[in-house]
Amino acid sequence: MTNEERNTALYQKMFAEQEKFRDWLKSQPPEEILNHAYEYTIREDILLSLEYHDLSDAQADALMKSPCPLADIFRDFEKRETDHMDVIWDCLESRADTILEEQRRTLRETPVYPYPASHAQEHGELEQYRASNRANFACKEAIEAAIREHYHDNQLDSQAAAQVVNAFGLDRTLFVLANTVQQKDWDARFSPGNKEWAKSIPIQENPDAWGADRNCQFVVNSHSGLTDLFLSTVRQEYCQKQEKAHKPSVRAKLQDTPKTTSPKHSAKLNGQER
């Protein structure tokens, strides 16, 4: 008997064993079938492996002597430690990261809609308006989260700004920050330079049916001194490098180098103004 014939005979014997197991499994109640689902799947994989590989004559003859070689191999497999769960976890993380990246790409590619709801309704642009508002709110929450995560030892890590800009783009990040400073114009913890810059960004009021400004929905609610630091970092590390005079956008409104403030320094300025 040739090696090919030996391997074929072994495959046929194991295939028949699997068919018998399959027939028995089909006769069981649903719960019992589920209990053996893993075993059935692994036995199928064992057959598939044998289909694409050849054992030596001695190995094939050794397995042929067993009355149930497929069941024997499965029992040995169960005793082994494999990286099966590691592969599953890797796939789980990879899938989650893929979804997150798709969400980030959608947020980055959603253009800032600068007009109020009334304008959107009049011009049939409510979908663009709503998409932009959702992105504005998500950006606001991302800024708050970045400040929480990256403020340590009285310093705001520059990675905080990078985290948000990379996810939402520079235009939306600046739009949300400008809106925040405009809505909190009374707050002396924002530096004069950042206040002046924010006023140069055209943000139209967006009143709802009760007269409240919908723009309040994407005001950053972090400590104002830290929000000011965040804005200064964005302006210094991104705006000055990426400003393009030929493209009208919020970043083109940057005129002066912002004065970086800290919560303590802002409080001191506040006291002086009083």
- pLDDT at residue 224, rounded to an integer: 95
Provide the residue range defining the domain that includes 178: 98-273
Q: Is the per-residue pLDDT at 62 higher than 90? A: yes
The verdict on 55 and 150 lying in the same domain is no
User: Within 10 Å of residue 84's Cβ, how many Cβ atoms?
Assistant: 10
Q: What is the mean pLDDT of residues 74-83?
A: 91
DSSP-based three-state secondary structure for 213: strand
pLDDT tens digits for 95-130?
999 998 888 888 888 999 999 999 999 999 999 999
Mean pLDDT of the 36-55 span:
95
pLDDT at residue number 106: 86
**Residue 86: inside a domain:** no
**Is 227 found in the same domain as 155?**
yes
- The pairing of strands 151-152 and 155-156 is antiparallel
Residue 66 Cα distances to 17, 61, 75, 196, angstroms: 11, 9, 13, 86
**Is 91 among the domain residues?**
no
Q: Give the model confidence (pLDDT) of 181-235 as tens digits.
A: 999 999 999 999 999 999 999 999 999 889 899 999 999 999 999 999 999 999 9
Do 235 and 193 have their domain in common?
yes
Looking at the predicted structure, is the pLDDT value of residue 246 above 50? no
Contacts of 13 (CB under 8 A, 6+ apart): 64, 69
Q: What percent of the chain has pLDDT over 90?
A: 72
What pLDDT does 248 receive?
55
Residues 29 and 125 in one domain: no
Q: 238: Cβ–Cβ under 8 A, 6 or more apart, which residues?
A: 161, 165, 170, 251
Does one domain contain both 105 and 220?
Answer: yes
d(CA 8, CA 19): 16
In one letter, which amino acid is 37?
Answer: A
Q: pLDDT of 139-192, one tens digit each?
A: 999 999 999 999 988 888 888 999 999 899 999 999 999 999 999 999 999 999
Query: What single string gives the DSSP state of each residue in 135-185?
Result: HHHHHHHHHHHHHHHHEETTEE-THHHHHHHHHH-HHHHHHHHHHHHHHTT
> Does 168 or 265 have the greater pLDDT score?
168
Residue 254 has pLDDT above 70, yes or no: no
Look at 260 and 175; give whichever has higher pLDDT. Answer: 175
Q: What are the residues whose beta carbons fall under 8 Å from the beta carbon of 213, sequence distance 6 or more?
A: 183, 205, 206, 207
Give the rounded percent of residues in the chain with a pLDDT score beyond 70. Answer: 87
pLDDT at 108: 85
SS3 (DSSP) at 45:
helix
Check residue 268 and give its pLDDT. Answer: 46
| pLDDT reported for residue 17 | 97
Rounded Cα distance between 194 and 254, Å, is 10
Task: Give 245's pLDDT tier (boundaries 50, 70, 90).
Answer: very low
Confidence of residue 241 (pLDDT cuts 50, 70, 90): low
Kindly state whether residues 168 and 38 are assigned to the same domain: no
Number of domains in the chain: 2
Give the pLDDT of residue 60: 95
Which residues fall within 8 angstroms of residue 197, CB to CB, at 6 or more apart? 178, 181, 235, 253, 254, 255, 256, 258
The answer to whether residues 155 and 63 belong to one domain is: no
Q: What's the pLDDT score for residue 267?
A: 47
Q: 138 with 32, same domain?
A: no
Between these two residues, 8 and 256, which has the higher pLDDT value?
8
Determine which of 53-67, 169-183, 234-248 has the lowest per-residue pLDDT on average.
234-248
Instruction: Indicate whether 75 and 107 sit together in one domain.
Output: no
